Each structure stands twice: as structure tokens, then as C-alpha cells.
Amino acid sequence: MLPVTSRRHFTMSLYMLRSSSPNINHHSFLLPSFVSSKFKHHTLSPPPSPPPPPPMAACIDTCRTGKPQISPRDSSKHHDDESGFRYMNYFRYPDRSSFNGTQTKTLHTRPLLEDLDRDAEVDDVWAKIREEAKSDIAKEPIVSAYYHASIVSQRSLEAALANTLSVKLSNLNLPSNTLFDLFSGVLQGNPDIVESVKLDLLAVKERDPACISYVHCFLHFKGFLACQAHRIAHELWTQDRKILALLIQNRVSEAFAVDFHPGAKIGTGILLDHATAIVIGETAVVGNNVSILHNVTLGGTGKQCGDRHPKIGDGVLIGAGTCILGNITIGEGAKIGAGSVVLKDVPPRTTAVGNPARLLGGKDNPKTHDKIPGLTMDQTSHISEWSDYVI
């Protein structure tokens, strides 16, 4: 039996609950026997209703970049630990030090819209990928389980990418669950990487005629996947988590035959066509809207340390089998012919070809072009002016 003090508190709590709850039938509400006996001859007036709380405006929780965050997990099965992570990610307690007695502090809560557009274009690409996946399942039911696990069951582009990379880069000693947690954590904390993923998808779809759909690129183009794995590795490298960054580089090299040092800086809108045997050194920089074909090396010229790798400008096209060596600059919109060996700077909007590479039109007065070769993918327009041989 409860002590007298506890029974008294318990009795009052039940009475207040019955008196203040509009959904409870007071006549049918039954109290325990030891409680009801004490209320047969006593009538208590209900306590006054508390004043209504001031309205609170929900606002969007943002990360340090100022963009909304979403859950890092994506699964149709909601586990307690995942739900807790999502709750803590969206809810923030107000800063009590800023209260002055009359001020109402706005709480950071979940977004008002489940699918809030951080970036309309990213959402458009993800929607297209899901539509294409469902269409492919209808055409080829044999891929149903694979597409469902990789695309259809995933909540976001970030989660789908983390899942795909973790599966392809895992091995017996490096389980996919471990990699998924690592990848999704990096993607969750860096919306700019997700934006770059979208731009790379658009680049592949627009420039590579062999790409039949976004979902085809997302799941099967190793150049695209290697580039996204590098973006994650580079973020870890900048956080001084170099052991993990180098581990990802090694797995990408083994799985995709693409070797990017995690210290290399890569822009957006990148196309790695076929991608096999592409090597990019530690201090290399690749600009935006660059297209690189297979067997390309952006390397050094010896064993010296420091800044020793090429700097590739925006809109550059680098043909297959090209070697660009040393701390040199390939100017914006330049074109490097297949099989070239480039050891000196290439001016913007010019074409260099050969071994060693020479400028079309000569060093003193090189011919320039107006279009951006990294976008047009034009690799042969210079032939008529460069050579008069006929095969």
C-alpha cells in the first residue's frame, strides 16, 4: 500500500486529470477504491485553466552552410536509433541566456514540408532517377530487387549514393554498413557535395551519348561513381582524417581502376568518360565543366614535394591517353588532343596536340576557338588544319 503522502499526491493528480481532460466522461471515469472513498463526501473545484501559450513559429533547422538538413538514413524500416537521430537533428533547445521574460524564443523544429527544396534541380534529378528506375523495373522485372534496394527504397539522393558506393567499395574486411555510415555522414554534413553530384549527373547525361538515363549513370558509370567517392575522400582529407581518405582512394583504385589522390581539388560538372586508368595527383586542380577521357594522367615530373601537379581551367577537354605533367596551367576552354604529352602552359581557348604537344597555329599566334570544348566534346575539328594526311 502507498504511503499517505504518496496516496494524497496520487489522488490529487487523478482528480486534476479528470477535471481538465475534455475527452473523459466524468460519470464513467472510475477511481481506485482507496481513492474513490475519499471523494464521496468532498467536492473540489477544478484549478483554473492555464493561459494559452504564445504561438510558436516553426522554422527550418539549418546546418553551418545555411541549408536545410535531412536525415542521413534512408530505409522503409524505422528503427528507434534512427528516429532518435532524426529528432535530435531537427530539434534544438532554445538558448535560455537570450530570454528576457517577455521575449518568445523561436524553436528550431522539423521542416514544415517533408520534401523541402534545398535545391530544385537536385530534387528534379532525384525524381527523374526514381521514375526511370520504376520504368526499368516494369521493362525488366529481373532487376526489381536490385533497383528497389538501390533507388526506389531510398529516401534521398544522398542516401542512395552512400548505399551504392558502400556496396561497390566494400570487401570482407570493410563491411558496407561501416562505409555507409561514413559516406552518409559526410554527405549529410556537406550539401555542396550533393550539389556537385547533381551537376556531374547532368554533365554525363548531356555529353555522353552512351548514357541512356540518369539511373544508368548513377548505378553503372564508374567514372561518375569514382568522382563522387573522391569528393567524400577529399572532404575527409581536409578534415585531417587522412587515413580514411587514403583508404577510400585505395578502394576506388581497386574497384574502378581510377586513382585520384584525395588531396586533389575537383570542380563540378565533371565528365570522366570511360574513366579507366585516369590518374590525378595530390596538388592537381580541375576546374568546372571539364571532360576527361580514359587513360589520362595529371602527374608530376619527379620526386619533388610541394605544388607539383597541373592546374586545369574551366571547360577544358582532355583527350584519351594524354599526359599533362608538372605544375603547369591548362587555360580555360583549352583542348588537348588524344595521346598528347603536355609539359608547358597551354593558353585559354587554344588546341594543343602531339608528343611533345604543340599549339595549333604555332606558339606565337595560336588559333583560338569560341566554343567550350569541355561541353561540346569536339575532338576532331582541328585535324584538317593540323595534318593533311589521309588514311
List the one residue out of 202, 208, 226, 190 whose CA is nearest residue 129. Answer: 202
Any domain includes 133: yes
pLDDT of 357 > 70? The answer is: yes
Q: How far apart are CA 4 and CA 34, in angstroms?
A: 11
Enumerate the β-bridge partners of residue 311.
285, 329
Domain check: are 297 and 377 in the same one?
Answer: yes
Enclosing domain of residue 183:
116-258
Residue 124: the pLDDT is: 87
Domain check: are 235 and 307 in the same one?
Answer: no
Which of the pair, 361 or 66, is modelled with greater confidence? 361
Lowest-confidence pick of 77-81, 93-97, 191-195: 93-97
Any domain includes 171: yes
pLDDT category of residue 385 using cuts at 50, 70 and 90: low
Residue 164: the pLDDT is: 97
Ramachandran angles phi, psi of 160, nearest 5°: -65, -40
| Last residue of one domain, picked from the residues 212, 239, 258 | 258
Average pLDDT along the chain:
78
Any domain includes 11: no
Domain check: are 311 and 180 in the same one?
Answer: no
Residue 136: the pLDDT is: 96
Residue 48: the pLDDT is: 59
| Last residue of one domain, picked from the residues 243, 258, 273 | 258
Q: What is the dihedral of CA 30, 32, 38, 43, to 10 degrees?
A: -30
Domain check: are 220 and 120 in the same one?
Answer: yes
Enumerate the β-bridge partners of residue 59.
108
Domain check: are 317 and 188 in the same one?
Answer: no
Domain check: are 231 and 346 in the same one?
Answer: no
Domain check: are 190 and 311 in the same one?
Answer: no
Any domain includes 94: no
pLDDT of 228 > 60? The answer is: yes
- CATH number, domain with residue 351: 2.160.10.10
Which of the pair, 286 or 100, is modelled with greater confidence? 286
Domain check: are 244 and 294 in the same one?
Answer: no
Domains held by the chain: number: 2
Any domain includes 181: yes
Domain check: are 145 and 235 in the same one?
Answer: yes
Q: How far apart are CA 251 and CA 259, in angstroms?
A: 9
pLDDT of 317 > 70? The answer is: yes
pLDDT of 323 > 50? The answer is: yes
pLDDT category of residue 137 using cuts at 50, 70 and 90: very high
pLDDT category of residue 379 using cuts at 50, 70 and 90: confident
Any domain includes 7: no
| Last residue of one domain, picked from the residues 223, 258, 293 | 258
Domain check: are 212 and 148 in the same one?
Answer: yes
Any domain includes 239: yes
Max alpha carbon distance in the chain (Å)? 115
Average pLDDT over residues 361-384: 85
Any domain includes 385: yes
Domain check: are 340 and 227 in the same one?
Answer: no
In tens, the pLDDT along 143-189 reads 999 999 999 999 999 999 999 999 999 999 999 999 999 999 999 99
Above pLDDT 70, what percent of the chain?
A: 66
Domain check: are 300 and 382 in the same one?
Answer: yes
Task: Name residues whose C-beta falls within 8 Å of residue 274's C-beta, 6 or more positions apart in sequence.
Answer: 223, 293, 294, 320
In tens, the pLDDT along 13-39 reads 554 544 444 444 444 444 444 444 444
Lowest-confidence pick of 72-76, 102-106, 316-320, 362-366: 102-106
Pairing mode of beta strands 279-280, 259-260? parallel
- CATH number, domain with residue 236: 1.10.3130.10
Lowest-confidence pick of 55-64, 142-151, 263-272, 297-306: 55-64
Task: Indicate the pTM of the whole model.
Answer: 0.68
